[in-house]
Structure 1
């Protein structure tokens, strides 16, 4: 049985796992889970992970959730090039520092802007108060500034001269609000230059392939199944508003 990856490329963590596996020629079966249809709550997916979140991995009888754990598992099992998750103690610590920070440091803010700017008003039909949107943008801007000044600084990449898991996880999060029409790179030349280096290291074709779903979100949101979205409405509004 081939390794299976359960993914929805609307999800930032799923894109990081997808890019990493593709870039490193790791063979896998793509098992699409459509989050907006609630497929993560299905009986079959529950057998893969009781966390009921994507990404998830099944490697024969071994199942694993959480994107960072999956990335580290793939890096070690398939012995990917050292720069992804360096053996050098301090370089690995630099990668781990970012991976530990990003869960609360950037993901909530990028996700909030995506939902407040696009999904809640366009898919759920609920007006977002201006003060909520302004506060979300301010939080996102603070996180982006920290990424520039703390994690990138004057280095080519977060851990030094080569791309690593830290850069991969960072770029997919930063691209999430872009999918809602927010140009996070405008007026940030350091962040823009880093993005270009990350894109070049991944390869433009693969980068574009992984992000076509999120970058097309403003069009595809109009085609979503309105009969299923209301099931998520109370939970989403409670979380983001």
Structure 2
């Protein structure tokens, strides 16, 4: 069998989350870089692969799957020798799922809505309303972490990998200093999640460079 192909963007938080998941379970991927700023995800060929024209997109020997959360749970289910990242226990899995849904429907949506106008060259600033919505999501995340080291258990899971990729990449625009639980948690993520430095931190540096360049134009 060929290596699973992941169409990815190095600075994309969901792409980073999928790559860190693979790193955590010891799975080698065939990474195909997609340049979002050049519109490579908008081509006819890529649309045939993924009608949503989003990254990451997985091609696992002909099985096509999009959405980072779906890809992460699939990779763990198929390739991981352990269920630590996505427990089989129903109650534990439900908690991981809830945090993944929070990331999918709240945290990621609000950060994307806030920064996409800048990435598309439509604005030079993040609106006050967008900032309020992102910080309300941070309020919730900070509360989720109250008295806990991790989002959904006694060790890091897919919930932590997914959420930390967004917080790490966009903290240039949304400082987290006022969220002590998030700050402490991010330090743990950086220390314990495999590939954090080479994947998430590297991606965040690219985000910072891109944002700074666009804001100065």
When the two structures are superposed, what TM-score results if normalisation uses the length of structure 2? 0.88
SS of match in other structure, 2:127:
helix
Q: Which has the larger radius of gyration?
A: 1
CA separation of 1:30 and 1:201: change in aligned 2, threshold 3 A: same
Aligned to 2:197: 208
CA separation of 1:85 and 1:67: change in aligned 2, threshold 3 A: same
* Kept after mapping to 1: 8 A contact 2:114/2:130: yes
CA shift for structure 1 position 175? 2.1
* Kept after mapping to 2: 8 A contact 1:174/1:184: no
CA shift for structure 1 position 58? 0.7
CA shift for structure 1 position 127? 4.2
Aligned to 1:153: 146
CA separation of 1:66 and 1:221: change in aligned 2, threshold 3 A: same
**Which of the two has greater helix per residue?**
1
- Counterpart check, 1:199 vs 2:190: yes
Alignment of 1:20-169 (within 5 A): 20-115=21-116, 119=119, 124=121, 126-128=123-125, 133-149=127-143, 151-169=144-162
* Kept after mapping to 2: 8 A contact 1:111/1:176: no
Note the residue ranges of structure 1 that are not aligned, 5 or more in a row. 225-241
Aligned length: 212
CA shift for structure 1 position 110? 1.9
**In 2, Cα distance between the equivalents of 1:115 and 1:62?**
30
* Kept after mapping to 1: 8 A contact 2:6/2:32: yes
- Counterpart check, 1:176 vs 2:177: no
* Kept after mapping to 1: 8 A contact 2:86/2:93: yes
CA shift for structure 1 position 89? 1.3
When the two structures are superposed, what TM-score results if normalisation uses the length of structure 1? 0.80
CA shift for structure 1 position 223? 7.1
Note the residue ranges of structure 2 that are not aligned, 5 or more in a row. none
CA shift for structure 1 position 222? 7.1
